[in-house]
Amino acid sequence: MLLKDYYDEQFAVRFADRIKEAYPAFPLNQFVSDVAQSIEGKAYTQRMNVFVCAFDQYLPAYPDTLQIFSGLLGPELESFSVMYSDGAWLAPVGKYVEAHGAAEAKYYEQSVNFIRELTKRYTGEFAMRPLIQAFPERTMEVLLEWSKSDHVFVRRCASECMRVRLPWAKKMTAAVEQFSSYVNTR
């Protein structure tokens, strides 16, 4: 099975059930119906975007949705070997934060704190990249702190999100540019 095929109608049903437990007002049937109608024949990134659009339509505003998602995260992973199996169900959540996290500075801290928790259960590197682009100095300070974390997944995210190229991500040089100015001034 291709990775993209994991994110199908049945995945939408399972994910919607989790959301409904945390957010009783969630219109589960409409969410699943919309996702099912939109997801067939789509590539991985397009499927992630289908979920983001459905979250936008059926969940509250960004900061409230982060609260809902925080309640869904579950236990931290114990090993990198299960990140893409046990944590894969969180990929649409990461894509949602990637799409909205840098939109407004007033949600910066909430976004960063959520990504820190997300990356302990899946990966937060994609969600951090727009924050690096939008708030390079501020985010480099966060990443420096994360690079010293006792948690291996947080340290991993601190380095991975600064890579110029990542699979399924646009090329990004902001971290490299900021890194150079950051190192030269310290």
Work out the average pLDDT over 57-61. 98
Work out the pLDDT band at 175, boundaries 50, 70, 90. low
Which residue from 171, 128, 130 is spatially nearest to 146, judged by alpha carbons? 128
Q: What is the pLDDT of residue 159?
A: 85
User: What are the pLDDT digits (tens) for 87-114?
Assistant: 789 999 999 999 999 997 899 999 999 9
Alpha helices in 26-173 (DSSP H): 28-39, 44-58, 62-72, 83-86, 91-100, 108-118, 125-134, 136-147, 152-160
| Boundaries of every domain in the chain | 1-59, 61-186
pLDDT tier at 80, thresholds 50, 70, 90? low
Q: What is the pLDDT of residue 3?
A: 83
Residue 183 above 60 pLDDT?
no
What's the whole-model pTM score?
Answer: 0.89
Q: For residues 104 and 143, give the distance between their C-alpha atoms in angstroms, rounded to a whole number.
A: 19
Q: Which of 63, 42, 144, 70 is nearest to 105 (CA)?
A: 63
Give pLDDT, residue 92.
97
**Could you tell me what percent of the chain has a pLDDT over 70?**
84
The sign of the CA dihedral 157, 160, 166, 167 is negative
Phi, psi dihedrals of residue 104, rounded to the nearest 5°: -140, 130
